[in-house]
Amino acid sequence: MERFEFTIGEDVIPFLLGRQCFGEIVDEIIKIGQTQRFDRIFIGCDETVNKLHVPAFAAALKAKGVDFHVCVTKSGEPNKSMASLDYIISDLLKHDCTRNSIVVPFGGGIVGNMFGLASALLFRGIRFIHVPTTFLSAHDSVTSKKQAINHTNLKNIVGTYYVPTAIMVNVSVFETLTQDNIRSGSGELTKNAVMFGGEHLSVLEPILRRHRGNLQYTEEELLQLMRMGIKAKGSLLKDDPKERTTAIIFEYGHTVGHAVELTYGVSHGCAVALGMLAASFMSEKMGLMTPEDREAHDELVKLLDVWLPLPPSQTLQDAVFRRVAGDNKRGYLPLKKGYYPLILAKRIGELHHPNKYYLEYVPEDIVRAAIAYLTTSRYRSHGLVPSAETAAAVPTPAPSAVDSGSRRRAARPVFLSHFASAQMLSSWVASVLFTPPTAQA
């Protein structure tokens, strides 16, 4: 396994990266546990990972004589909730978790956030070790102190900052991911390539071109991309551990991206990629980016082949705008009526830098025009024929709504089959039409 030291502020976190390495991961967990007496390992996962990967991980633990308990939660964003957090804490305590126990979030970003937060709260903080199973979480969400859940229709609104004891990645588990999950992880890496240029661009772009339309990365390519993702996050978090000044640039593409993610149900990294296309539209309209630089920017993003699943409508555009207006970057700059703060780029490798927060006031008419452009230009029919009322109001859930999908396959769009009941369908309609502006963290 490769070993890195990942620095977040004053905290130095061991980061181990390898393939076919559950046995080595268990050895490392035991070593960490022995530095301060540990009594039990608590594996946290969702239903999907419990079926796909827990048996192999559990076998490795049993082979080393490690006592462990598996806490399984339901899959998906709706379960990133106070109820799930209460269940996790209750289950861990019921199975004799102590201040000497170690929690191992074993899954994607949702699992990592929930069990990371539980670790921060139990006994005022116990050790936890990330073992991510999705491409996106492995280079993005686990490389952070932020641990949070959703509450009252607000995303990541209840949480804290808490440092993982270690991060250990076995890229071989990515073989089970859907195309959409790999594309989602690639979206955040594409954002890094736009932000930093240089080697982040030169490593990523050839891989995207080589696999365009079929993101079947080799394990060596996954390791390459993982290294670049880790390097990008580490370059700024060492000086800005709470991501409130220089590291806020990792939010590039996220303002419109978060709004698209919540409105359409598009996976996170894919939504960020779409948000980048909206950002470049705004940059050109405001004279910050030349048409030539925008073309180069957009060509890179479009290698991801990301599309919106529903035809444009004023209802959906308004829903996206409402969420942009409630984005969490409000408050960094003084409120200015009719303007919204966004991070914009000038060209690949150079962000617009009007202040220490990299935030520029964008007039409402340009924001709305960017949303209209995005929802019109990036719609592609998948042969679905929903009713006019449904198409106008209901987002299509992303194929990767769970932390880790079944065997890697081309993502297939889903529509009404996702909704198990009329009540679920009504809930989605309400979330688009009536949910107040959503905070993100």
Give the Cα separation of 220 and 439 in Å (integer): 37
Residues 114, 412: Cα–Cα separation, whole Å: 28
Distance CA 397, CA 262 (A): 9
Q: Which DSSP symbol is given to 331?
A: T
**CB 279, CB 256: distance < 8 Å:** yes
C-alpha to C-alpha distance for 433 and 322, rounded to whole angstroms: 10
Please tell me the distance from the alpha carbon of residue 157 to that of residue 245, in angstroms, as a whole number: 19
Give 261's Cβ-side CA count (13 Å radius): 26
The count of other CB atoms within 10 Å of the CB of residue 330 is 15
Contacts of 388 by beta carbon, 8 Å cutoff, 6+ apart: none
**63 CB burial (10 A radius; 0-12, 13-18, 19+):** exposed
Distances (CA, A) of 67 to 38, 52, 120, 203, 433: 10, 21, 22, 41, 48
Q: Is the Cβ–Cβ distance between 38 and 101 less than 8 Å?
A: yes
Any idea which residues carry the catalytic annotation? 146, 251
